[in-house]
Structure 1
Amino acid sequence: MKNLKLIFLFIASMVLFGFQDPGIDEAAPKPEEIRELLNKAEHSIDIMEFDKAREDLNKSLEYAKRIDNKRYIALASSILSRLHHVRHEYDKAITQLDRAMSIQRDIKDDLGLNYSYILYSKILTSKREYDRALKYLDLADKFYQKQENSEQLGVIALNRAVIYFGKVENHDRVLSELHNAEVYLDRSKNKYELARLNYFYARAYALEGDYQKAEKAAQDALRISQEGGYTGMTMYTYGLLSQISESRNNLPNALEYLKKMNEIRETVFDMNKEALATEANAKLGMNALKTTVDELTLQAEENEKTLKVNKLTTILSVALITILSLLTLSLYKNNNLRARANELLQKKNSELILAKENAEKASLAKAQFLTTITHELRTPLYAVTGLTHLLLEESPTESQKEHLNSLKFSGEYLLSLINNILDLNKLEANKVEIVKSKFDLEKRISDVLIALKNSADERNTKLHFNYDKKIPEKLVGDPLKVSQILINLIGNSIKFTENGDIWINVKQSKIEGEKVFLQFEIKDNGEGIGKEKQKAIFENFTQGSTQINRKFGGTGLGLSIVKNLLGLLGSEIILESELGEGSSFAFELEFEAPEAELKKAATASPQTKEIELTNDIMKDKHILVVEDNKINQMITRKILEKNKVVCDVADNGTIAIEKVKNNDFDLILMDIHMPGISGIEATIEIRKFDFDIPIIALTAVTLDDNLDEFYLNGFNDIIPKPYKTEEFFHKINKYLAAREAAV
């Protein structure tokens, strides 16, 4: 009973102290005192003294409310959110942080708000909401960049690295962000963030297999954590050192680090229990005090009555505990075996993930390499094809003409190879889209045959074109894809047919409403393909055999492109071939044929008939060539001047803008990549004062994703370099004719 009285006095004094009237303290708290309490709370969270942190936070919040300091009320809520985050109470953390951010926005406390953004990002990272976490870091980054706050920028870079650890596909960004954090935190006194930096460096090096660097970084993290008393970081670092030691087959060290980690884990667990108990006691009010004391008194009297019974119970309890301990030991051993098995499975899973990442990186590197190298090849190739065209027009001798034709063939072959590589790269990256338009299929195929006639004549091979007259004159489909398919298939047949024949057969198979289904067949009596090679030839860089590759050349890309394009159009290719007896490639395509609408359009607006364009329209027209490459300037200028164009040249976008302001031009040919402002930026500026002048992009860029950007920024059309002169003149003449008709 004496002990019971002491307990009662202790509880009463604690409750009275905890619930005394805040108005008793006559002196109003100062903001510096609140700031000091908040700093102490943050430090207590760092060293995982949650009960002390809670006590300081409650006091700081009480003081802030007493003097109505909303900035510190919000900051206290932010730090309380951090406490919930460390204790994995994410929903409570978000509730507190939303409350803090609402106040900070109302009072325009940018400093506090951006502190909250960083904390919000950490909570979202813990919840694996990585994309949202990055957005909050970006908001904070903009603010601290303006403030030139290196320490907070370092914290942001470090938290980005943590996010990229979670995002499996972005591990290559981890070390980059860690290096940024290291630069920003070079002179920082924030030991906690420096400990985190070294810890994540260790994890990154371990992931790459550089265990020596990983162990050094982890030891640095451990030293800083122990000096600062950062319990959590010390525990996590011991765990990481255990994993590194195990990876280096140093099992004794691994076990020792694991024991130290578990010791700290037990301490942290006990601290959490104390904090929860403190929190529960804080919620008890004066009204509960009497009930608690009565219960304790009744319990003590009951204990005295049942003391003898409890002795027997104690003996039985000891026996039961002994049995349970033995069972627990057995379960512990089984769990250890199971944990080892799980570790092995996780290790294998990590290896598989790493292999997948490496494969994806290799694929991305290949695509980037192909895009870069083909783009770089197109610029000098423009000089080769352009100069060849100019020389052929200057009445060369027969021997010179033969050499120039060989040079022209080589240039066209190289351009075809580059285009095939680009097409294949875009197809594999799913960047090719179907673009439907109205066109004349028979004329389109005739144009393809005209383009391939020289190649067929060189091999003494005849082309036979059979076109079903029942096919509607105008069809709606993707003419460019159809041309690419036919060029590759007919070109393939020409390559493997010498002194023979090639038949191009197109017939209508069926009509369903406005849909027309056409059957295409390209048949030859050339080399043929063996049965065992017929499936392989549609793969990349594959031909019938090594002997065929040596005899006929080529890359083996054409049929692969055909297969991919037909797949995009919802069709497939059928091959029939016998070695030495020729081959037949067949496929079916679907088109639309709105005949009624076409007739109505022709009747309503007969004036829309296309006017035949000639180069005569270019005579005395003023054209501005905007190009920084001197060779390209000279080639484009000479080609234009041969057609009696008055040509002016600008070396960059700035000069072009001034020339357009001070001169009257009929058309502008604009390069895109130039020193200073780009061709796109120059076009935007020109459009501010001249909406009518035609501007054509003359560029070596690939046009897979960029078409919309060109048109939206004021270009009328695009001519990719190196260009065919027919296309070059056709587009220039079209816009000159339209401008002349509008005057």
Structure 2
Amino acid sequence: MRFLARHIKLHIFLALLFLIVGANFLHGQSNSAIDSINTYFDQARVLKNQNKLDLALGTLKKAEVLAERKGDLKLLIDSYQKQAIIFLQLEKQDGAEIFWDRSKGLLKDVEYPYGDAIFKYIEAIMLYRRENNFQALLMLDEAKQLNNDRNFFNNILLLEGNIYVDLEKYDVASKNFNSLLINTDIYEQDYLATRANLGLSLMNYKIEKFEESAIYGEGALKLAKENNFDKEVKDANEQLKLTYQKMERFDLSNNNYSNLLALRDSIFNAEKVKTEAKTANKIQFDFMSDQIAKQDKEIEDLTDATNRSEIIVILVSAFLIIISLLAVSLYRNNQIKLKTNDLLQTKNSELQGARDAAVSAMEAKTNFLSTVSHELRTPLYAVTGLTHLLLEENPSENQKEHLKALKFSGDYLLNFINDILQINKIDADKLEPLNIDFNLKRTIQEVIDSLQQSAKANRTKIILDYDDEIPGHLMSDPIKLSQIFMNLVGNALKFTKDGEVKVIAKLMKKEEEDVTLYFEVADTGIGISKEKQENIFEGFEQGSIQINREYGGTGLGLTIVKSLLGLFDSKIQLESELGKGSSFFFELHLKSKDSLVDDIPFEITQQDFEFKGLHLLIVEDNKINQVITKKMLSKKEMTSDIANNGLEAVELAETNNYDAILMDIHMPGISGEEATVRIRKFDISTPIIALTAISLDDSLESFYAAGCNDVVTKPFKPEVFYQKIGENIFSKRVKNTGS
């Protein structure tokens, strides 16, 4: 070992002496070698752009040998990376990766930002080839941060433009290509402009702007010919052939096709491809052979017994290098994972934006349907009102038949509009269930009584099977429960003739104030097939088009039931068999009020009122509606005044005495609600009935809060109109008399 140490010291002394004596000579030789290598690089660039790839590889091989001989790692990295780019152009991925990977190993031994940037640029090309476009763009962004060389930046712009075309981000791609059309690159000005013209030609072809595509294609062809860019000449002819075909300029298309055939015969032939492949394979083989030879030489040198310690050091170093490579690989995988996470976050943001757009679209749809349904009510009020008046004026039998058909159509359209409004309110979260005290049996019985006429028309019985154990006072929303039973029982009656519809209400469980109830509406009607049961609760579904036409209706009733029960956290279920009937059932969880007792049992009675001599105020801005409402009052021998807006209504109410006020809600100026609030400041007793085409944003609670006694929605059935007037006027008089 002492001998080895003395031997090493002697070699170091001689090396230092050699360096001191030959420093000036080597400095001169060094500059000359660098100039030669850069000259090779310039030649290779020109040859590459002229598609003389075999010659370009040969030139770069000379640069590689000279750089290795000189020991300049940066120039050696440059030569490897330039060869990798040409191998990619030759579609030889394995060869490109060998030189690219070799440059990666050398970059670890030297601080070289330009080499790092080119390394990432090559990786971006590989990612782009594998259609990993977003990762390629991220890699190019990293490369741009490492170096600001103008030629390098221009090539990045070109690659980005091609990627953006593939991603169909044509506005960004256009900016990149247009900046390259006027570039001032000292090395590749014409080549970059040619490729930019080709990019713009392809982009315009994809968006079907064929005139622009042809202009840029001709520009590319002209530049390519002037500079002997053979591949670009071929690409331009191919693009122009397709473009002129789309433009139906077949003479020009055939001309470009002829050019392509000539190019393939003279330049892009099998012999050229074979030569390039042979050169590339030889360079790749020679490179790998050199690496193997170097490793063999190192092993030979280390076989000497005196250098065993050095072998151990090298083996340890090799082990450490392997560990380092593994660590780098893990780090790189982690970086890729981070980038992937960034991409996922970007995608999540895009999805969030898409979701917001969908919500906005849903809101727009809901508001549109609400507005349409609201606006339809005003002319529909005229249709139903005039039809009713004409039917009462002793029309001829022929006219009566037409008027009844018109009345039926008006009622159908009204029900349809009401259904749409109801679904819109639920979809827009405009409905919330109330929580008030009510009598369930009374609520169900009122629904049944209101549908008895339909039952008689179909010769069908409605049977109520009500469990007397159900508490008399429950807390919930009787209006929405009425809507649920109205739709279920009405639907059952529609499809049942000469049969029965049974409404069942049973107490399932009661624990203190918590009550669980079971409800069922069963019929002996036509039934529903298994296939149709899956979609029966979706909008406009009744089983089939034939059923729609035979039995009528919109198919929205069960959709409303499903949506309303959702407000109570309940779910509608169905059992049915064709020809044997259907059964719809659900459960509800309610609160009971056991402390409350009914003193007087309820009775449902239809009252007849004496309207003669009553004097009312009609608040309405629509002239046709004024005439219809006034005439309907006159039919019952009632007189009326008319206010055209809210302000007139307040003035008339203050200076006159009325038995009731019929208040439109939606009017220009102050609304009906505001007018009601002002009237209530000086008159708290006169009944005010809101007579309005209710919309999505309207709230019955707000009408009552303003001071209205009742609400009648337009268009209305005449019997409902008269009933509401009588109830509010005469019940008030009874109360006043009693007090």
2:387 aligned residue? 388
Kept in 2: contact 1:613–1:734 (CA 8 A) = no
Aligned mate of 2:636, from 636, 643, 661:
643
1:526 aligned residue? 525
Kept in 2: contact 1:474–1:593 (CA 8 A) = yes
Find the residue that maps to 1:539 and give its secondary structure: coil
- Pair 1:679-2:672 in alignment: yes
- Aligned pairs for 1:82-121 within 5 A: none
Structure 1: distance between partners of 2:410 and 2:616: 27
Find the residue that maps to 1:538 and give its secondary structure: coil
- Pair 1:366-2:360 in alignment: no
CA distance change for structure 1 residues 346 and 506 in 2, over 3 Å: closer, same or farther? closer
Q: In the alignment, residue 692 of structure 2 is paired with which amino acid?
A: T
Q: TM-score, normalised by structure 1?
A: 0.51
- Aligned pairs for 1:128-207 within 5 A: none
Instruction: List alignment gaps of at least 5 residues for structure 1.
Output: 1-238, 260-326
CA distance change for structure 1 residues 364 and 388 in 2, over 3 Å: closer, same or farther? same
1:576 aligned residue? 575
2:542 aligned residue? 543
Q: In the alignment, residue 742 of structure 1 is paired with which amino acid?
A: N
List per-residue Cα deviations over 1:382-405 (Å, max 9, x = no partner).
222222333343445555444433
2:686 aligned residue? 693
Find the residue that maps to 2:597 and give its secondary structure: helix
Q: In the alignment, residue 500 of structure 1 is paired with which amino acid?
A: G
1:620 aligned residue? 613
2:172 aligned residue? 247
Count of residue pairs the alignment pairs up: 431
CA distance change for structure 1 residues 254 and 467 in 2, over 3 Å: closer, same or farther? farther
List per-residue Cα deviations over 1:415-461 (Å, max 9, x = no partner).
11111111111111222111234444334333323333333444444
- Pair 1:668-2:667 in alignment: no
1:717 aligned residue? 710
- Pair 1:706-2:706 in alignment: no
- Aligned pairs for 1:193-272 within 5 A: 247-248=172-173, 250-251=175-176
CA distance change for structure 1 residues 435 and 354 in 2, over 3 Å: closer, same or farther? closer
Structure 2: distance between partners of 1:643 and 1:401: 21
- Pair 1:742-2:736 in alignment: yes
Aligned mate of 1:630, from 600, 603, 623:
623
Find the residue that maps to 1:625 and give its secondary structure: strand
CA distance change for structure 1 residues 488 and 255 in 2, over 3 Å: closer, same or farther? farther
Find the residue that maps to 1:369 and give its secondary structure: helix
- Pair 1:484-2:483 in alignment: yes
CA distance change for structure 1 residues 469 and 725 in 2, over 3 Å: closer, same or farther? farther
- Pair 1:419-2:415 in alignment: no
List per-residue Cα deviations over 1:246-271 (Å, max 9, x = no partner).
732554668999x9xxxxxxxxxxxx
Q: In the alignment, residue 413 of structure 1 is paired with which amino acid?
A: Y
Find the residue that maps to 1:585 and give its secondary structure: strand
Q: In the alignment, residue 580 of structure 1 is paired with which amino acid?
A: G
CA distance change for structure 1 residues 518 and 336 in 2, over 3 Å: closer, same or farther? closer
Q: In the alignment, residue 589 of structure 1 is paired with which amino acid?
A: L
Find the residue that maps to 2:536 and give its secondary structure: helix
State the percentage of identical aligned residues.
52
1:504 aligned residue? 503
Q: CA deviation at 1:624?
A: 0.8
List per-residue Cα deviations over 1:47-94 (Å, max 9, x = no partner).
xxxxxxxxxxxxxxxxxxxxxxxxxxxxxxxxxxxxxxxxxxxxxxxx
Structure 1: distance between partners of 2:550 and 2:604: 46
Find the residue that maps to 1:389 and give its secondary structure: helix
Q: CA deviation at 1:466?
A: 2.9
Structure 2: distance between partners of 1:570 and 1:345: 35
Q: In the alignment, residue 695 of structure 2 is paired with which amino acid?
A: T
CA RMSD of aligned residues (A): 4.2
Structure 1: distance between partners of 2:584 and 2:430: 26
- Pair 1:559-2:558 in alignment: yes
Q: CA deviation at 1:377?
A: 1.2
Kept in 2: contact 1:431–1:705 (CA 8 A) = no
Instruction: List alignment gaps of at least 5 residues for structure 2.
Output: 1-159, 185-324
Structure 1: distance between partners of 2:659 and 2:594: 38
Kept in 2: contact 1:613–1:733 (CA 8 A) = no
Larger radius of gyration: 2
Find the residue that maps to 1:416 and give its secondary structure: helix
Q: In the alignment, residue 648 of structure 1 is paired with which amino acid?
A: D
Structure 2: distance between partners of 1:448 and 1:536: 26
Structure 1: distance between partners of 2:173 and 2:559: 47
2:647 aligned residue? 654
Q: CA deviation at 1:729?
A: 3.0
- Aligned pairs for 1:344-363 within 5 A: 348-349=347-348, 351-363=350-362
CA distance change for structure 1 residues 570 and 394 in 2, over 3 Å: closer, same or farther? same
Kept in 2: contact 1:616–1:643 (CA 8 A) = no
Structure 2: distance between partners of 1:255 and 1:465: 83
Q: CA deviation at 1:374?
A: 0.6
List per-residue Cα deviations over 1:581-602 (Å, max 9, x = no partner).
3211112234444354225xx3
Q: In the alignment, residue 662 of structure 2 is paired with which amino acid?
A: L
Q: CA deviation at 1:371?
A: 0.6
Kept in 2: contact 1:696–1:716 (CA 8 A) = yes
CA distance change for structure 1 residues 742 and 482 in 2, over 3 Å: closer, same or farther? same
Kept in 1: contact 2:442–2:602 (CA 8 A) = no
CA distance change for structure 1 residues 368 and 644 in 2, over 3 Å: closer, same or farther? same
Find the residue that maps to 1:528 and give its secondary structure: coil
Q: CA deviation at 1:679?
A: 2.5
Q: CA deviation at 1:629?
A: 1.3
Q: CA deviation at 1:733?
A: 2.6
Kept in 1: contact 2:664–2:692 (CA 8 A) = yes
Q: In the alignment, residue 641 of structure 1 is paired with which amino acid?
A: S
CA distance change for structure 1 residues 360 and 735 in 2, over 3 Å: closer, same or farther? same
1:410 aligned residue? 409
Structure 2: distance between partners of 1:648 and 1:610: 36
Q: In the alignment, residue 703 of structure 2 is paired with which amino acid?
A: F
Q: CA deviation at 1:245?
A: 8.1
Find the residue that maps to 2:379 and give its secondary structure: helix
Find the residue that maps to 1:248 and give its secondary structure: helix
Q: CA deviation at 1:360?
A: 1.8
CA distance change for structure 1 residues 449 and 388 in 2, over 3 Å: closer, same or farther? farther
Find the residue that maps to 1:719 and give its secondary structure: strand
- Aligned pairs for 1:319-338 within 5 A: none
1:463 aligned residue? 462
Kept in 2: contact 1:622–1:667 (CA 8 A) = yes
Q: TM-score, normalised by structure 2?
A: 0.51
Q: CA deviation at 1:625?
A: 0.6
Find the residue that maps to 1:541 and give its secondary structure: coil
CA distance change for structure 1 residues 468 and 686 in 2, over 3 Å: closer, same or farther? closer
Kept in 2: contact 1:460–1:498 (CA 8 A) = yes
CA distance change for structure 1 residues 739 and 347 in 2, over 3 Å: closer, same or farther? closer
* 355-364 or 612-621, which deviates more: 612-621
Q: CA deviation at 1:563?
A: 1.4
2:308 aligned residue? none
List per-residue Cα deviations over 1:82-141 (Å, max 9, x = no partner).
xxxxxxxxxxxxxxxxxxxxxxxxxxxxxxxxxxxxxxxxxxxxxxxxxxxxxxxxxxxx
2:427 aligned residue? 428
